[in-house]
Amino acid sequence: MLTALDSPQASAHSYEQPVFILTASRSGSTLLRLILDTHPAFSCPPGTGVAAACGQLGRVMGVLDGLFRPGPPGEGSITLTAAASIRGVLSAHFGRYVAMRGKRRWCDKSLDNVLLGDLLAQVWPDAQFICLSRHCMDVIASCIEACPWGLSGFGLDPYVAQHPGNSIAAVGTYWLSTMRSMIAFAEKYPGRCHQVRYEDLVTDPEATVERLFSFLGVAQVPGIAAQCFQAISRRRCSP
């Protein structure tokens, strides 16, 4: 249903349920994104930073609405009118992206989704969330492999500063903090969240994806995970 603050020019595709991936860095979110993007119902671009955009817009509107919140807003820190305004602006742009690709729903895998999950849940009250996890030691190994000359980016910088010279402690602390936030969110919104383990995604992809699509309420696509694995292999082998 369109609200008074939603753009009447926005595509109707904009207003179908978005899907947000909540996860830590180096946990398989790119693979999950490609699987979702391959499905005929979904468009899932690389991380857009939509959660951060919601946070910034929420801060502006919080000041204007007299809330004067000093930090990124979470649940209850913006009004329903502000939430509808943010939803109208961002959904219109995502709707055009989806419509150009002949899809119906959009997904986002930005790494800060897990930090601002409450705000996303408020702005999009019909959104669904995928909580993607990976074993801590594998995340540590992947982060160190991705940053051979020293950890940076991937949301790790505050933890590197907290544990100077100890990459294992930095990534481990980051992983623990992220998992705690994700678990707390899933417990708060149990009906809107679906748990996926990276290990299951790579060892039993078809069954894992089947359960995921069932949760999302979309048709099954047999072999979709294999298609993505083949596409990734071809990309890595190409000159």
Contact of 59 with 73, CB cutoff 8 Å: yes
Angle at CA of residue 76, ends 71 and 81, nearest 5°: 100
The candidate with the shortest Cα–Cα distance to 129, out of 193, 41, 187, 80, is 193
The candidate with the shortest Cα–Cα distance to 14, out of 51, 43, 57, is 43
Place of tokens 């249903």: 1
Going along the chain from its start, the domains and CATH numbers come out as 19-228 (3.40.50.300)
Mean pLDDT of the residues in the chain? 86
pLDDT digits (tens, 9 = 90+) for 85-95: 999 999 999 99
- Please state whether the predicted TM-score (pTM) of the whole model is above 0.75: yes
Q: What pLDDT sits at residue 80?
A: 85
Q: Where are the alpha helices (DSSP H) in 22-112?
A: 29-38, 50-64, 80-100
Backbone angles phi, psi at 131, to 5 degrees: -95, 105
Residue 76 has pLDDT above 60, yes or no: no
* pLDDT, mean of residues 106-115: 95
Q: Which residue has the higher pLDDT, 81 or 74?
A: 81
pLDDT digits (tens, 9 = 90+) for 121-153: 999 999 999 999 999 999 999 999 999 888 888
